[in-house]
Chains A and B, each alone.
Chain A
Amino acid sequence: MMKLNVWIQKHQNKITGLLAILIVASLLFTYLFKVELVATILMIIASVIGAIPVALHAWSALANKVISIELLVTIAVIGAFIIGEYEESAVVTFLFLFGNYLEQRTLQKTRSSVKDLTQMAPTQAELVDDDGNVTTVDVDDLDEGDHVMVKPGGQIPVDGKIVEGTGYFNEASITGESAPVQKEDGDAVYAGSLIDNGTVTIETSSVGEDTTFGKIIELVEEAQDSQSPAARFIDKFATYYTPAVLIIVALVWAFTQNFELAITVLVLGCPGALVIGAPVSNVAGIGNGAKNGILMKGGNAVNSFSHIDTLVLDKTGTLTTGKMTVSKMDTFGTDATADMATLAAVEKGSDHPLGHAIVKYISNEGIKDYPEIPEFDTVKGQGMIGSDSEKEILVGNERLMQANGVEITSENRKSIDDRLDNGDSIVIMAVNKEIRVITGVNDELRPDAFDGLTALKKAGIQRVVMLTGDNRLAAQRVAEKLPVDEVHAELLPEQKLDFVKDFQAKGHKVAFVGDGINDSPSLATADIGIGMGTGTDVAIDTADIVLVKSSFASLAHAYILAKKTVANTKENIFIAVATVALLLLGLLVGIIHMASGMFVHEASILVVIFNAMRLLR
């Protein structure tokens, strides 16, 4: 029995083909050769052959206490057989099986984007043992700490760090960045990325599903199954609907005593398009996203995103690239080199992005010897203060200077205003209340920010809000170049969260876009958290939508896609319900019979799948 089951499952398509031949032959005998007996026998054979796979499915479902569509069809076919409607029973099973086949083929298409992604996952690795011997192994056999070698053009099989060699890596599948990055000893590399040139040995830190790439795949696979509220409702509905159809049919039979009518209702009542309609839109929509580097965590996320009216953006690393560069450094002391060396020494201890840019700039100026400096304390939102017996050093923004009574001369003022006009963030260093260095650090605007935000507003975003911890003027400068409605500057992370909550309290649906590094609370609180500019674990975990490519084109695409997906789901539900309604109407006026009913059903299933496929483009 079980072997038969497997065999039939494997050859179902051939069985369907055989059915088609039998039915056509039978029709030929009826209309061409006028040999009714042979025609009838052929239809009987077709019915039996066709009913077996359907009945087996129905049975194995029933054994697990599931009332399936197959059960409805099986009962209908047996019923038709009993009353001698062999043609109906044969055609119904054929249409049902053929419909299944087409469904499988077309569903495959809607799922193809994700399949393409999984196929990019590495499968083999070159394992290097302690003696330096290299063997090819399956990635699943690798463990943490194993050393693997990757040659030019090869794919990185694991997450890990380079222990030997250097190379240029294409990490498009992880970060969306297609320009190759050079990496060397100690740098982290990710499974799924490619090495353009160079040979490296990598120490494994994680394998398979545990790698960043593995997590991305898992996320998308689960997302496709996680339904929108509408689809979940339909799903629930369907579990009661199918048994309900059986009861209704029994009632119809009991009241009308018309067996043929009862089994026709059974076929018409199959929930076909209704069950597949909503999920298939979801699958296609999420699949399209995945193909374009947009990871949407399921139907819920798609649904909520489509209702967003307020977009709240973090400035640094989101609207801007986050790659800071010093635009100008003005010095005011007698020994500029010594002052810059001190500033570099201070900033070296800070992990602020502004600090990195400053250290880099100063070392590029050829200043590499840094003096001993006192201990520094951080003043939140202002900067740092360090002092010892002979001097007090302040490094920070204008507020820090004012708070500590540093005099800003007209010459200083001019330098600061000049930098602010450029949209820079300002870092001032004062020694013993006297300004020595004024630095402007610029963060480049993402090139497609303007176009992306414009597209988003056109698609239905009513308000774009920019939040930043940066100074007001720098924020204003960035905002002026963009279609931004509100700017709030000089904020601490928790104040950003307050803004999000505030908008929500006013009844807005808020999406927060951030890099997930220090704004996870806002990401988690907003109706939709969108992680942008990373591909790190943090963003993948907290965000509802992760943009692998940190671009505004991708954000706009995601929003429009979410809207289209939700609309598509509604269309499909409408098509499914309308089909059932029309079929019942057709039955009442007497133009729909069992076989034609099954035909319309299967056709409606294909219509909803094709409709969903429009989302793939």
Chain B
Amino acid sequence: MAKAILQLGELTCPSCMTKIQKAVANQDGVSNVKVLFNAGKVRADFDESKVSGEDLSNVITELGYEVKKLKVKETA
């Protein structure tokens, strides 16, 4: 398992949050998705054998949100 922390640009509408939350959570192997609306951050745990941090970043980019920074940490 690994943990991804993605820094996005400024989020303004609470519905963006729901959108991102659902889209990321729908990826295979992803659990515990947390979108921090005010900080513009997404945190998610994921299974590296099924999905990568870049995949998550792409999902968010495809929704139309800029991903400024991606950080992946092994959590054993």
- A residues apposed to B, CB below 8 Å: 2, 5-6, 8-10, 56-57, 60-61, 64-66, 68-70, 100, 103-104, 107-108, 111, 114, 118, 140, 208-209, 221-222, 224-225, 235, 238, 275-276, 279, 283
Contact = CB atoms under 8 A, between A and B. Distances in A.
Contact of A111 (B13, B19, B38): B38
Contacts of A60: 19, 63-64
Given A104-B10, A225-B36, A61 B15 contact: yes
Q: Which 9 interchain pairs have the tightest Cβ spacing?
A: A221-B39, A224-B38, A68-B15, A5-B64, A9-B64, A64-B22, A2-B62, A64-B19, A66-B18
Interface string B35-74: 0111101000000000000000000011111100001010
Nearest to B61: A6
B14 A238 contact: yes
A107 B19 contact: no
A68 B16 CA distance: 9
A248 to B, nearest CB: 19
Interface string B8-36: 00101111001100110010000000001
Given A69-B15, A238-B14, A114 B22 contact: no
Contacts of A224: 36-39
B62 A279 contact: no
Given A9-B65, A103-B12, 18 more contacts: A2-B61, A6-B61, A60-B64, A61-B15, A66-B19, A68-B19, A69-B13, A70-B13, A70-B15, A100-B12, A111-B38, A208-B73, A222-B36, A224-B36, A224-B38, A225-B36, A275-B14, A279-B14
Nearest to A9: B64
29 contacts: A5-B62, A6-B62, A9-B65, A57-B64, A61-B15, A61-B18, A64-B23, A66-B18, A66-B22, A69-B13, A70-B13, A100-B12, A100-B13, A107-B10, A108-B10, A111-B10, A114-B38, A118-B39, A140-B71, A209-B5, A221-B36, A222-B36, A224-B38, A224-B39, A225-B37, A225-B38, A225-B39, A235-B14, A279-B14
Contacts, number: 79
A9 B36 contact: no
Nearest to A217: B39
Contact of B38 (A5, A6, A56, A283): A283
Contacts of A225: 36-39
Contacts of B62: 2, 5-6
A590 B37 CA distance: 38
Given A100-B12, A107-B10, A9 B19 contact: no
Contacts of B61: 2, 6
A132 B25 CA distance: 45
B12 A66 contact: no
A9 B13 CA distance: 14
Contacts of A2: 61-62
